[in-house]
Amino acid sequence: REPVLSLGKAFLVIKKLRGPLPPGPPPGASLATARKHGSRVWEEYGGWARKSGPVIYATYGKTSLLLLSSAKAANDLLNKRSRIYSDRPSTVMFGELIGHDKTVFRSPTSSPRFKIHRRLMAEVVGGSDEREYVKVMEEKRISFLVSLRDDPNKFITHIKANAAAIILQVVYGYTLTNPSTDPLLRQIQEYVTHLSREGTFGKWLVDSYPFLKYTPEWFPGGSFHTFAREQRKRTEDLVQRPMEWVKTQMRSGISATSFVEEKLTHSGEEQAGRKGENMEEIIGYVAAALYVGGADTTVSALMSFFLLMVQYPSVQSRAQAEIDKCIPSHDRIPTLADPASLVYVEAVIKEVLRFAPIGALGLPHKVTEDDWYDGMFIPKGTPVIGNIWAILQDPDVYNDPITFDPTRHLPQHLTGTPPQPNPADYVFGFGRRICPGNQFALTSLFLSISSILALFDIGPPIDELGNTKELEVEYEGGTVAHPRPFECHITPRKHWMPLLENLSFVKDSICPNDQE
């Protein structure tokens, strides 16, 4: 007997019933060309959205990708349907070849480890009232401001050292004393550079054409194996090295309070009821994730802050005037008790987050069930990217988005119009995967930015003859982007000089690093 429906026809019927896929990129555009353009790929994707709409389904080899470029689409799918939109795609390069699936950033939501990771991270960098990390941030910012006072030209080095000093202290109890030679600082800086440059989704051909993984390393095009091998080793070292350091400190009875020390001390309780899990390994991966997540992101935001203060001197002056009004005696730097009186400073921070691409494409999610959105079919397993940069530059959401204008975030009673959406609702990503360090980052940015604005003027670079130099603005990087290194002229503010001169290093009585 003839089958009622041939296989081919049945396929077409199912396809019709399930609805069309979202539109592809505009003619002439593809993932391959976008990848070739390298940096600022978020702008390229944003351009596609203006032509093809905010929901785009792009394919390249075996890779497909759902790009969401409007707040509505990202919110509808990644937030409201976060149960099925919070997994991570496993790639050949980072999953199979490098073994990153054990890391927090790539752990599958179905794995029991996912919940443990998120709980442990919330305990240490979450926004609870206890927030032990605030004390560390306040202490480290004194050293940061002193470094800025004494050697202002190296402001980028100081920003990086400060971010690492905070996270190393909170997570491992490790006191960073000499940023220029510290082995852990060098290790994390190398790590994040590689990860940001090489870890962008779609970067590796082997992910689109998995059969390439059988290419031998010595064969032309096989050099990706070298990167995979080196990255695997870098990740193992990043997890192991600081953990071993804490364990040695604990054995010698001189460990400082930290997340790892606390968790290792109570590892028995953590382990209880989790027979199949290696809690020590989990603690190591969570610590490394906080270290990686915290080492580069606030650095990028602060670099952009310096850059924008040079470019928008009137914004800088207005923020400084607000601080001067809040602390007319100029005898202390702003604290976390001040934000209510520093609404413009808060608005500057929001506008830096909106205007500068930090994690412009966030991290890729994966949908775990077939889904439908606005009549379009989204197949199970599709990687999904929320284009955070495009959302924050959307003229339907932010008036005149290409202008750096903190007043858009001021409360209605000051401007007569409601504030535009808070960029912090987007820059930290979405759903169950939302950045666990968001409160930590916002606190750190407020403490740094408010005190820098109080104590210093940031101006354009000046040449030997005292003339102002042109400032070149370019962004580099991938997963986390930053401005390319640039110069600026940082000088103490007159009324704050006495306070600045009296700031002194808060030194720990024990320097654990010296006892290695």
Binding residues for heme: 435
Token pair listed for 297: 């992101």
Q: Can residue 435 be called a binding residue for ligand HEM (CB under 6 A)?
A: yes
Shortest CB 426 distance to ligand HEM, Å: 8
Closest CA to 482 of 291, 348, 299, 351: 299
Q: Can residue 427 be called a binding residue for ligand HEM (CB under 6 A)?
A: yes
Residue with tokens 């203006």: 50
Rounded-to-integer distance, Cα 82 and Cα 368, Å: 10
What's at 46, amino acid-wise? G
Closest CA to 188 of 80, 69, 32, 292: 292
Closest CA to 442 of 232, 333, 297, 331: 297
Phi and psi, residue 57, nearest 5°: -115, 110
Q: Which of 362, 401, 421, 483 binds ligand HEM (CB under 6 A)?
A: 362
Compute how many residues bind ligand HEM; rule: CB under 6 A.
27
Shortest CB 442 distance to ligand HEM, Å: 8
| Interface stretch with ligand HEM, choices 136-144, 182-190, 409-417, 425-433 (CB under 6 A) | 425-433
DSSP 425-479: HHHT--GGGS-TTHHHHHHHHHHHHHHHHHHEEEE--B-TTSPBPPPP--EEESS
Token pair listed for 80: 């409201």
For residue 465, count other CB atoms closer than 10 A to its CB: 5
Q: Which of 298, 382, 439, 451 binds ligand HEM (CB under 6 A)?
A: 298
Closest CA to 358 of 288, 294, 289, 279: 294
Residues, the chain, total? 516
Rounded-to-integer distance, Cα 384 and Cα 402, Å: 26
Rounded-to-integer distance, Cα 141 and Cα 72, Å: 38
Binding mask 149-178 for ligand HEM (x = CB under 6 A): ------------------x-----------
* Span 57-86, contacts to ligand HEM by CB under 6 A: none
Q: Which of 437, 477, 478, 483 binds ligand HEM (CB under 6 A)?
A: 437
Between 175 and 297, CB nearer to ligand HEM:
297
Cβ neighbours for 110, distance < 8 A, ≥ 6 positions apart: 87, 368
Between 204 and 430, CB nearer to ligand HEM:
430
Q: Which of 224, 398, 440, 456 binds ligand HEM (CB under 6 A)?
A: 440
Q: Can residue 293 be called a binding residue for ligand HEM (CB under 6 A)?
A: yes
Token pair listed for 129: 């009232």
Please report which helix (H) or strand (E) contains residue 458, including its range: strand 456-459
Shortest CB 401 distance to ligand HEM, Å: 18
Q: Which of 22, 199, 359, 406 binds ligand HEM (CB under 6 A)?
A: 359
Provide the terminal-to-terminal Cα distance of the chain, rounded to the nearest Å: 81
| Interface stretch with ligand HEM, choices 344-352, 409-417, 434-442, 461-469 (CB under 6 A) | 434-442
Between 286 and 410, CB nearer to ligand HEM:
286
Binding mask 363-402 for ligand HEM (x = CB under 6 A): x-x-------------------------------------
Binding-site residue positions: 435
Q: Can residue 512 be called a binding residue for ligand HEM (CB under 6 A)?
A: no
| Interface stretch with ligand HEM, choices 149-157, 371-379, 422-430, 484-492 (CB under 6 A) | 422-430
Q: Can residue 475 be called a binding residue for ligand HEM (CB under 6 A)?
A: no
Q: Can residue 315 be called a binding residue for ligand HEM (CB under 6 A)?
A: no
Shortest CB 359 distance to ligand HEM, Å: 4
Shortest CB 57 distance to ligand HEM, Å: 19
**What is the β-pairing status of strands 55-60 and 63-68?**
antiparallel
DSSP 258-323: -HHHHHHHTHHHHHTT-TT--HHHHHHHHHHHHHHHHHHHHHHHHHHHHHHHHH-HHHHHHHHHHH
Binding mask 114-143 for ligand HEM (x = CB under 6 A): -----------x------------------
Closest CA to 391 of 88, 82, 72: 72
Q: Can residue 290 be called a binding residue for ligand HEM (CB under 6 A)?
A: yes
What is residue 374's DSSP assignment? T
Q: Which of 39, 189, 196, 297 binds ligand HEM (CB under 6 A)?
A: 297
What is the edge-to-edge ordering of all strands in the sheet holding 365-366?
Answer: 55-60, 63-68, 383-386, 365-366
Shortest CB 389 distance to ligand HEM, Å: 11
Footprint of ligand HEM on this chain (CB under 6 A)? 104-105, 125, 167, 289-290, 293-294, 297-298, 301, 358-359, 362-363, 365, 427-430, 433-437, 440-441
